[in-house]
Amino acid sequence: MERLPPGQRWISKPVVYDIVDSIPSWDMQSYRFELFGLVEKQLSFSYSELLELSSDEIIADFHCVTRWSVKDIHWRGVKTLRLLSMAKPLPEAKFVFVRSLEGYTTNMPVEYLEDGILATYMNGDILPKEHGFPLRLVVPRLYAWKSAKYVKSIELIANDQAGFWEQRGYNMRGDPWKEERYW
């Protein structure tokens, strides 16, 4: 399979986009990541607990809806499949709704988390603030707007719910191989 999705071009490093003009500083003493909703066991981790769990790694290309891609970004953190196995999703859990610290949200079917990672490191260093510190959801099979930065929670839900960009005309799925950019 061709490595570069249709309509994309390679660049050397990711371009930084945000929904806020200035990224706030987060209170890491009170920060908690939560996975909840239609699960048998709700999960909650402090940042230091996430760092202790950060033994999983993936190397993945990163594709932006604005038509650029970056090869081989090295992410380290906790694979989302590992967290799902800990939480034990209920059969009716079909979608996820991701919330971020600055107000961003996004959505996807739960199966897209099978090869994702909640990253605490990027290319060998603690995740830089502009790329999502303290926690970034990385979903390699979808456009980068689904790889939410500053993640505070993932909720498993029965019915799909449009997130920030989806409410503004972006595709509900965002598969770069199908060029699912906008409605």
Give tens-digit pLDDT for 55-80.
999 999 999 999 999 999 999 999 99
pTM over 0.85: yes
Burial of 151 (0-12, 13-18, 19+ CB in 10 A): buried
Instruction: Show the domains of the chain with their CATH numbers.
Output: 30-178 (3.90.420.10)
Please tell me the predicted confidence (pLDDT) of residue 183.
Answer: 81
Alpha helices in the chain (DSSP H): 47-53, 80-87
